[in-house]
Amino acid sequence: MVGRVTEAVWVEKYRPVSLRDMVGQEAIVPLLRSYAEKRAMPHLLFAGPPGTGKTTAALALARDLYGNEWRQNFREENASDARGIDTIRTTVKEYARTSPFGEIGFKILFLDEADNLTAEAQAALRRTMERYSTSCRFILSCNYSSRIIDPIQSRCAVFRFRAYSTEAIRTQLDRVARGEGKKVSAEAMETILAASAGDMRRAINLLQLTATHVDTVTADTVKEYATIPLRREVEAMVGAALKGSFLEARDRLYRVFTDRGASGEDIVRAIHSYLPDIPDSVLPPRDKVRLVEFLGEVDFRLAQGASDRIQIEAVLAHLASGQTGGG
């Protein structure tokens, strides 16, 4: 077992065990620490993008509250695995109604990805939260708080997690690299930061993936394993389209698909993040606004199952033809 420790997923290996160990989210962590110190808390709702510390905050809060007894008083359920009303009526209700272990008068039930619960399940959860609030506190985690019904939101203290700053991710990556005896070049660090886009989990996973067989991580190593389009590739692709060369832009798009294994959603996000840096002389502000509107429509189509290649080709066609709007 000792030999397997170094092979563990680094995200779990370096997950903070206490709220004091968490980096970033400075507006949230102090409030959670005050709950742990007072040994009292309301129902909580954690909302924010993936990889921003929602699950880590819940686990760290439980450890700070209960100490060595945290496992007996904390239960995690993934709402995307069982999202129907039966789960709330059986698993959740049975856990919420049992007595807590130890001195603190309540347990914690952590519902991850709660925005995947059906409307009927959320209605049942609302009643359960109200009925068993003395013996159980609920922490709901979601990417989109708008998918949580208002009666549940009104029963919770809502914490909105934001994407991590580059400095916060850099600090954690430096800590992980030192712990694993790896060196990361400055160019490689910048590439990982750009690829992660504020997602701490993605950044650590990418560092582990690239450092598996080398002691020094370089930019070329990161680019070899990165599965999302890199900035310079998107710049070249969009630049060719803006010059009216649709076929060249399409060829570059196909290389991003085949060489990088990128998805349509990845490319849409990369184009969206690159838009502010396009000179106004190349793409006027009014056209940028229209393109953002069109990108939103394309993103919706992709979410509904449309073809990645056809949709991104449509974006490049609009750029090449000078039509930056959706019509």
Alpha-carbon Rg for the chain, nearest whole angstrom, is: 23
Q: Render 212-256 in DSSP notation, one character per residue.
A: SS-SEE-HHHHHHH--S--HHHHHHHHHHHHTT-HHHHHHHHHHH
Structure tokens at 280: 């106004």
Query: 42-62 burial, b for 16+ CB within 10 Å, e for fewer?
Result: ebbbbbbeebbbbbbbbbbbb
CATH number given to 231-321:
1.20.272.10
Q: Map out the domains of the chain as residue ranges.
A: 2-160, 166-225, 231-321
Q: What is the pLDDT along the chain (327 residues), one digit of tens a residue?
A: 333 334 578 999 999 999 999 888 888 999 999 999 999 999 999 999 999 999 999 999 999 999 999 999 999 988 766 666 777 777 888 888 888 888 899 999 999 999 988 888 899 899 999 999 999 999 999 999 999 999 999 999 999 999 999 999 999 999 999 999 999 999 999 889 888 888 999 999 999 989 988 889 998 888 777 766 677 888 899 999 999 999 999 999 998 888 877 888 889 988 988 888 888 888 898 999 999 999 999 999 998 899 999 999 999 999 998 765 444
Which residues in the chain belong to E strands, given as ranges?
43-47, 74-78, 107-112, 136-142, 156-160, 183-184, 216-217
pTM of the model: 0.78
Whole-angstrom CA distances from 178 to 132, 153, 181, 184, 242 are 45, 41, 5, 10, 43
Q: Which CATH architecture has domain 166-225?
A: Orthogonal Bundle (1.10)
CATH number for the segment(s) 2-160: 3.40.50.300
